[in-house]
Structures are given as C-alpha cells and as structure tokens.
Amino acid sequence: MTDRPAQDWTAQTARARAWFETLRDRICAEFEAIEREAGSSAAFEYSPWKRAAVEGGREGEAGGGGETGGGTRGLMKGKVFEKVGVNVSTVVGELSKDFAGTINGASAEQNAFSATGISLVAHMANPHVPAVHMNTRFLTTTKAWFGGGADLNPPIPYQEDTEAFHAELKAACDAHGEGYYDRYKAWADDYFYIPHRKVHRGVGGIFYDHLECADPAGWEANFAFTRAVGEGFLAVFPRLVRRRMGMAFGAEDKAVQLEWRGRYAEFNLVYDRGTLFGLKTGGNIDAILMSLPPEATWS
C-alpha cells in the first residue's frame, strides 16, 4: 500500500512551494546586492534538475517529471560569499522500503511521500563573517508537517552577532507559539552537536520538525510560522554580513576558519538528516552536497 494522508494537501504544497521560491529569489537578490557593495559582479547561477528514479518508485512519479519532480540549485562564488548555495526542490514519489520506517508517518507498507522546501548554506570568505544554514520544508506521508530552522556558524564568534541572530528567531517564535523559542532553541542545541568531537558546530539557532497539520487551519498556522522563520533569517543575516565583511584578517584567522570548516563538514556528512533524506530519495547530488565548504583542513 502507498496510502496518502486523508486530507489532500496538493493545494497547500503548491502554496508552500511558491513561497519557498519567492524567498529564494529575495535572498539571492540581497546576497548579490552585498557582492555589489564589495565591488564584485558575482551572481547566482541556477541549475534546474529533475529527480532521478529510485528503487521502488511509482511509475510516473519516482522519475520526477512535470511540476513535482525536481528543483533548482542556485550557486554563487564571490568576493564576500566564498560559496553560497540556495536550493528549492519539490519531489513526489515513494520512499524505499528500508528507509520509509525512519520517516514520520511512513512505513514499508505506506511509503508514498511528497516534499517541498528551501535549503541554504553560506560559507564566507572573511573568517569574521559567520557561516550560516537555513532550511524550511513541508512534507506529506500519511501525515503532513512542517520542519526547518536556522543556525549561525561563526569560525570567530561575536556575542553581539549571536544575540542579534537569536533575537530575530525568538521574535518569529514568540509571535506564533508560546514556548516555541525555548523548545526549538534547545532542539537546535541538541541536534547541531558533533558527538565524536564533543562540540557544537556553531552558536545555535532554532530547529523544529514534525510540526503536524491536523487540518487546513493547523496548516495555515504552521505555514505562517515557517514564513516568519524565513523572514527573520532574511532580516538578520545580511545585517551581520555587512557588519563584518570589511574587517581585516590574517593567516591565523584563516587557519581557524579552515579547521572549523572541517568540523562543519563532519557534521553534515555523518549526522545531518537532510543529507541522508536527499541521498535516499533520489535528490540532486550537487544540491545535497552544496553544504560542504569549498576548502577545509584537518589537523
């Protein structure tokens, strides 16, 4: 069996996808504006892709096609943003039997799914400018839910930057749910941790998942929160970039950044759920691994 949720979420999926694409366009425009301020002509290059067929997929869906079988990978390498990727994808199909049991609302017998979302990772040229990650998504199996978050990853932390980033996310949380910020901040602290190093990969943020939609009204509330997270990110991160991008740095600062990037790569390759989900569902390999830094060192 490949049961869908009792509620047909097709229209809501289309609305979520449209929002993610609009957010991508606004973020990319802002990042390109920062490059212009730095005297750079760097711009995003966009690569559309279609989802490849995966074992056990349903005919007409697993191979992508139509409007629900792929996405767009946006990549820019500039003077300020050494490497930044902004991906939007929308896929429909069936999870492999062995992987389905790890996904909320899915099983080997009920393995149909859909997913739409935006994912962003920015690695910065100047070690004083924090790297950042943000993603939000809407998924359906036999259940329907939102997930996502954002976290700041500075090689050289500044308390005022950390406070500004968290303040923006807290405002988004406080407007949509009592206790959201404390709960999702704690979840981020737990999730963005590298057990074999016994360190966090950054200064945190928020992380939420399985924000389930019992009915259309619940979907509207969760969608509004997810939009607030995206708006909060767009409001604060460019401000932090502009604050730090002109600071002088030397070889020691760069060495700190490159070693920190090694830790970031370890987390994304060993522990990150999004990496595993993309690889297990026939996602675009370049888009999935765009989170990796362009250069890193291990001592």
Q: Token pair of 17, please?
A: 């996808």
Residue 205, by phi and psi: left (phi above 0), alpha (psi -120 to 50) or beta?
Answer: left
The catalytic residue among 133, 166, 176, 200 is 133
Q: Token pair of 125, please?
A: 């040229």
Say if CB 118 and CB 137 are below 8 A apart.
yes
For residue 194, give Cα distances in angstroms to 15, 102, 250, 264: 35, 21, 27, 9
Q: Token pair of 52, please?
A: 């490849």
- Backbone φ and ψ for 208, nearest 5 degrees, come out as -140, 150
Please give the Cα distance from 144 to 7 (Å, whole number). Answer: 9
Q: Token pair of 190, please?
A: 């737990």
Mark whether 128 is an active-site residue.
no
- Residues marked as catalytic: 133
